[in-house]
Structure 1
Amino acid sequence: MSDAGVWGFTDDRGTELTAVRPPERVVAYVRAGAALRDLGVTPVGVYGSGHDGGALDPVKAGELAAAGVPYLGPGRALDEEAVRALRPDLIVDVTYDGKSPYALDEAVAERLGVPLMVLSVGNELTLSAIIGRFGELGAALGGSAAPGAHQDPEVVLRSVAAGTDVTVLALSGAGPDQVHLARPHAWPELARLQELGVRLLDPGPGAGANWLTADWEHAARLNPGLVLYDSRANAVGPDAFPPVGHARVAPWNPETPPSPAAYARFFAELAASLQE
């Protein structure tokens, strides 16, 4: 709050946004919008990224579809008139580099005359810090969800991880001949899993800060006991990629909404998969 009667919030670029009252009509990138919905703030519309198509990816949507939130298409091909018709007073995107919005060209927000807020989901922040920042924004926008609900599943997951030697490989299928293997330190949620004792495998040296692109034989040579596969619509799922050795498979959404509820579900599902 900058002055009496003036709403304010500083985003993760260090940009302070102010208004005479808290924004009530929020348009958001789908990941941010799903998190805000979990936190008690329902967007009036959401848009996708360059990986998304004309329909809302149900894996990324969280509770948005059930709430009837309209999908406005990919951010780079957004129908600006459709956005304008929603009369938004705030746009919320994410950033991986702490500087640039990920899914929406900043010029679009400028043409619409709507302030653009950007929160970081990159590996310069811990998962807890990322979730905390979205919690702060949710509270500033009048959300009512209680913070901290993700802690109990972490306790369960830590206990399960301590009792198993199953190794885990996180990946994103690119096709029958190619796969992107996640570097655990580059993903805040994977780094958190390691802190909780999950035995995540590093794919080894090579190009790529977040992923090592390789063939499926390379993945199999890592000999994982469990594969976390990218379950988003733009990735190739286990019904279309070859077996990775004798590994079992479980879904992983690399764009899980940064909310306590969403990560509680993911950690609980992973704990169950490790125990199978």
Structure 2
Amino acid sequence: PVGIFGSAHDDPALPDPAKTGSLPLADLPYFGAGPALDLDALLAARPDLVVALTYGGGQVYGIDPEAAKHLEEQIPLVVLDVGGGRSLTGIRDRLTALARSLGAGPDPAADAELAAAERRLTAVAAVPVRSRVLALSPAGPDSVHLARPYAWPDLAALAGFGVGLVDPAPGQGANWSTTTWAEAAALEPDLVLTDVRGNAAALGDALGPRIPAFSWNPELPPSAREHARFLTAVAEALEAVRP
């Protein structure tokens, strides 16, 4: 890659390390984020292709509509839909197909690592009494966004492997149910997956010191190796909270 850019939630000056996977950030130009995207700098880098995402509806995620239109007039733009209804496997396969079309070779070691991680998580989750797992994004001292499991491809994948995800009461948003910390604690989770992206607040002791917390990136890089690491980490966290 000749550079990267972020979304409107990101710092316009620095990329979010939680979302960039194994990219060599020290060697990659960062063109800003959201309204602060530096189109002139991006165009000056002379990329052959720009890859962006959408969560449905045709709107490019992280780029203002006018900027996206101007960009598309100058450079070929590939927009991959990662919105509701897309499976984690489907998203990974589409990105893999794009990478192969651009010359990347197969990575059988990463594929084997992913298959092993899937088997391990399935085995760990196959217990008579499943641990209650709650995914959330801290919003501040008074409120928290609780993730709706089937609105997030990675959480839906965990449920498919047998992980006991807590589904909160419906809220105003399709992806999140915003509530108080007291109501979140009342769901009695055994394990919390907490959003570690730069725009999320810190979890701290909002749910008390006795509930184990595991770092969760809702915008998981879509590669076999990154998915294998995520599934392995969830399996290890579940093993640690077993009675």
Does the residue aligned with 1:199 lie in a helix, a strand or coil? coil
Cα displacement (A) at 1:197: 0.4
C-alpha offsets along residues 46-93 of structure 1, whole Å, 9 cap, x if unaligned? 000011011111111212235722211113211122112201121110
Q: Distance in 2 between matches of 1:160 and 1:237?
A: 28
Moved more, 172-181 or 244-253: 244-253
Q: CA RMSD in A?
A: 1.7
The 5-angstrom pairing of residues 98-247 of structure 1 reads 99-112=58-71, 113-146=74-107, 148-149=111-112, 150-163=114-127, 165-239=130-204, 242-243=206-207, 246-247=210-211
Q: Distance in 2 between matches of 1:248 and 1:140?
A: 42
Q: Distance in 1 between matches of 2:171 and 2:203?
A: 24
Q: Is the 8 A contact 2:60 2:68 kept in 1?
A: no
* TM-score normalised over the length of structure 1: 0.80
- In structure 2, list runs of 5 or more residues that go unmatched: none
* TM-score normalised over the length of structure 2: 0.90
The residue type equivalent to 1:55 in the other structure is: L
Give aligned-pair identity as a percent: 47
The residue type equivalent to 2:8 in the other structure is: G
- Identify, as 1 or 2, the structure richer in strand: 1
The residue type equivalent to 1:65 in the other structure is: P
The residue type equivalent to 1:50 in the other structure is: A
- In structure 1, list runs of 5 or more residues that go unmatched: 1-42
- Identify, as 1 or 2, the structure richer in helix: 2
Number of matched pairs: 233
Q: Is the 8 A contact 1:219 1:244 kept in 2?
A: no
The residue type equivalent to 2:85 in the other structure is: E
Cα displacement (A) at 1:110: 4.1
